[in-house]
Amino acid sequence: MNTWRSRLATGLVFWLAMALHENLMSNVQNTDGGMLLFHGSAAIFDLLLIYLVPVFLSGQLASDMEALCIASIAANFVGWIAYVAYAPPIYYDTFMWGLAYVQWARLFIMGGNDANYHGLYMVRRNS
């Protein structure tokens, strides 16, 4: 069972990964090589998150979070291709922020069993 503590720990790991990537890539130049480094390192961070998710989560929640990380890896590849093709960055940026919100929402959506843990009766489905 995925407790609120494991969900919170996973959320913290995801937030730290985003913050670390932002700080490491803040001085990358806006060139083809620089953007390859940016998108490639983002994909590597997502790959590391795929390996860290099972440490904290289990079951369908872990599978969903891993699938969302795979979607992010694919989106970073497409984002670099779009950069090289001179596409406006608004599409990539909007998609990646939307994907991040979906990850956060999926992480904190409680199932029927999870809502009963430690007396937390929130978002409980009808049985």
Range of the domain at 98: 4-119
Q: Domain for residue 100, yes or no?
A: yes
Q: Domain for residue 51, yes or no?
A: yes
Higher pLDDT, 4 or 97: 97
Q: Domain for residue 126, yes or no?
A: no
Cβ–Cβ contacts within 10 Å for residue 83, how many?
19
Q: Domain for residue 52, yes or no?
A: yes
Q: What share of the chain is helix, strand, coil (3-state, %, to 5)?
A: 75, 0, 25
Q: Is the pLDDT of residue 95 over 80?
A: yes
- Summarize pLDDT for 15-71 with one digit per residue, the tens: 999 999 999 999 999 999 999 999 999 999 999 999 999 999 998 899 999 999 999
Q: Domain for residue 23, yes or no?
A: yes
**What integer pLDDT is reported at residue 46 of this predicted model?**
97
**What total of structural domains would you count in the chain?**
1
**What integer pLDDT is reported at residue 116 of this predicted model?**
45
Q: Domain for residue 62, yes or no?
A: yes
Q: Domain for residue 125, yes or no?
A: no
Closest CA to 62 of 125, 120, 111: 111
Q: Domain for residue 65, yes or no?
A: yes
Q: What is the mean pLDDT of the chain?
A: 88
